Amino acid sequence: MKLGIAVVYLVSERDEGLLRLHFDQIEKYTQVPYTLYGAANRLLPQFRLLLEANPRVRICDGPTVDARGSEEHSFYLERLIKTAVDEGCTHIATFHVDSFPIRAGWAEELAGLLSDGCPLAAAMIDERFDRKPNTACIFLRSDFYERYRPKLLLSEEERSTDAYTKYRRAYPHIPDSGVGLGFKLHTEGLTWHPLVRSNRATKQSAFGGVFGELIFHLGGAAWFDLHYSTPVTHWGLGGIGSAFVKAYYRFVQGAAGLIPSQLRPLFRPVKRMERAIRRRTANQIRREIYERERKRLLDDPEAYLRDLQDQ
């Protein structure tokens, strides 16, 4: 086996420890010849130096896109996968900066799950609501990629087809990076091996998951540190103010039958305000959980990962 590991490197200033842990875990548990193919288009200069100092890393420079989020990540990751295949890698793995193997022989074990009819294994974040290959860990055979050249994302035109509608009904999912692989496998009559959560703790937390007893994914590193900041309170609303708006909106809902139809549009801004407050509250709760799991991981990686696997 000649393994190519594709990773889009994009981390915040505070995540040097997470980046070093990612490298250490891959080196510690990967026992087959491998090269890390990295995109570093928007990586901070001090972290690019870390990549350049790692003999396992091949930085693949190329055009920088204006897109952000899943579109940006998919653009770079597809280029990395193609480069690895073109350079003769027999198998390709993808990771995020906050995902990595946690057991020796992981690559051999995943390769053993694959066949002509099942050319791909991947983390599946949620069995009920997101049943698609997740790029936090994808492991595929290069001959599958060379034959089908699947995309990670689907275009709006592809998502408007009857075939995709049927696929989404059969396999509910979030249509972000990885959906193109799942859809291609489905349309070609192929299957994939899902790596499901294997630690009970993740049933209570969206962060800090072990998949297939082989792969760890913290989740949220790029999102929280690069795309999301702690929500601020608009209109001076917070605490008592938020509670008042919610209570007032519930009153309005209850009294809706008494309000003349021509006056009801006046209450729509209150409804929008209540929804915005609810979203900000949910984001703040997720942020707090993420920070807790991140701290536990970086304070003592061995103890944290051992604890997850013992659950």
- Nearest Cα residue to 308 out of 189, 170, 208: 208
In angstroms, rounded to a whole number, what is the distance separating the alpha carbons of residues 195 and 214?
Answer: 9
> Pairing mode, if any, of strands 3-8 and 34-39?
parallel
Going across the sheet that includes 99-101, the strands are: 99-101, 215-217, 209-211
Token code pair at residue 124: 């599946």
- Nearest Cα residue to 184 out of 120, 240, 128: 120
pLDDT score for 96: 96
Domains annotated on the chain, with CATH: 3-227 (3.90.550)
SS (H, E, C) the chain: CCEEEEEECCCCHHHHHHHHHHHHHHHHHCCCCEEEEEECCCCCHHHHHHHHHCCCEEECCCCCCCCCCHHHHHHHHHHHHHHHHHCCCCEEEEECCCEEECCCCHHHHHHHCCCCCCCEEEECCECCCECCCEEEEEEEEHHHHHHHCCCCCCCHHHHCCHHHHHHHHHCCCCCCCCHHHHHHHHHCCCCCEEECECCHHHHCCCCCEEECCCEEECCCHHHHHHHCCCCCCHHHCCCHHHHHHHHHHHHHHHCHHHCCHHHHHHHHHHHHHHHHHHHHHHHHHHHHHHHHHHHHHHHCHHHHHHHHHHC
CB 117 within 8 A of CB 109: no
The pLDDT averaged over each successive group of 10 residues in the chain (311 residues) is: 96 93 98 97 94 97 91 96 98 97 97 98 92 96 97 94 95 94 97 90 68 92 54 37 53 58 61 58 74 93 90 61
In angstroms, rounded to a whole number, what is the distance separating the alpha carbons of residues 28 and 30?
Answer: 6
Q: Which residues fall within 8 angstroms of residue 247, CB to CB, at 6 or more apart?
A: none
pLDDT score for 250: 58
pLDDT score for 265: 66
pLDDT score for 247: 59
Half-sphere exposure of 284 (CA within 13 A, CB side): 11
pLDDT score for 200: 65
Token code pair at residue 193: 């091996």
pLDDT score for 240: 42
CB 54 within 8 A of CB 19: no
pLDDT score for 229: 41
pLDDT score for 261: 63
